[in-house]
């Protein structure tokens, strides 16, 4: 006849999982050592730090979501363009367009613009019409490109809330410089004009 085990009083024969499922009181370390099991603490009595990982995980997940601002995080207000800067930019762009329209006929007929000017200076016989026409078309094309570029850059800068009036200002200065350079090339390549320049030297 086999020896029967004594009647369990504290769940000695139950597995640790069954003990955790049925226990109503916590088991401290000393009692757990006597029973040969790990100490068990009810969920509602666990430290607060062990009961809140889900909330912290949710907070970290929300922090990576677009459009979610963490409490206490510094917020950067969107910059708005200054009204005076917008007005100045519009005026400068308008002046650039007017200047482009005014100079267009002269640039398309640059030889007809150069010849009267040279006659007033006492120079006759201008013969570089082909070069002057090419320089006039080049100057006009660059002026148009600079004005369109100023429009695009100014629009982007205004939407971003940055100072913008300097963009059409720089474009206007560059456009005038282009016209001067093209005009100087068209005049400097003409033999009659170069002879006049040499005659003026001491």
> How does pLDDT run across 113-146, given as a tens digit for each residue?
888 888 888 887 788 889 999 999 999 999 999 9
What stretches of the chain show up as alpha helix (H) in DSSP?
Answer: 16-22, 29-35, 48-51, 53-63, 83-108, 110-120, 129-159, 166-188, 191-200
Q: Which two tokens stand for residue 45?
A: 């009595």
pLDDT higher than 70, residue 99: yes
Distance CA 102, CA 56 (A): 68
* Tens digit of each residue's pLDDT (9 = 90 or more) over 19-58: 555 655 566 677 667 766 666 555 555 555 444 455 555 5
Please write the tens of the pLDDT for every residue from 144-189: 999 999 999 999 999 999 999 999 999 999 999 999 999 999 988 8
Which band of pLDDT confidence, cut at 50, 70 and 90, is reported for residue 59?
Answer: low
Q: How far apart are CA 187 and CA 132, in angstroms?
A: 8
pTM: 0.57
CB within 8 A of 49, min separation 6: which ones? none
pLDDT range class, residue 67, cuts 50, 70, 90: very low
- Work out the mean pLDDT of the chain and round it to a whole number: 77
């Amino acid at each position: 006849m086999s020896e029967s085990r004594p009647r369990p009083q504290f769940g000695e024969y139950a597995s640790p999982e069954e003990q955790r499922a049925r226990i109503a009181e916590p088991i401290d370390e000393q009692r757990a050592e006597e029973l040969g099991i790990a100490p068990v603490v009810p969920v509602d009595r666990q430290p607060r730090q062990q009961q809140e990982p889900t909330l912290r995980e949710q907070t970290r997940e929300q922090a990576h979501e677009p459009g979610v601002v963490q409490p206490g995080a510094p917020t950067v207000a969107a910059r708005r363009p200054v009204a005076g800067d917008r007005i100045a930019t519009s005026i400068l762009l308008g002046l650039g367009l007017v200047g482009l329209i005014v100079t267009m006929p002269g640039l398309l007929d640059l030889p007809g613009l150069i010849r009267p000017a040279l006659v007033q200076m006492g120079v006759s016989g201008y013969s570089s019409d082909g070069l002057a026409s090419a320089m006039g078309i080049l100057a006009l094309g660059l002026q148009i490109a600079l004005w369109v570029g100023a429009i695009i850059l100014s629009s982007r800068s205004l939407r971003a809330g940055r100072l913008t009036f300097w963009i059409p200002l720089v474009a206007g200065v560059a456009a005038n410089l282009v016209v001067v350079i093209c005009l100087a090339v068209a005049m400097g390549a003409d033999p009659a004009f170069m002879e006049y320049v040499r005659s003026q030297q001491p």
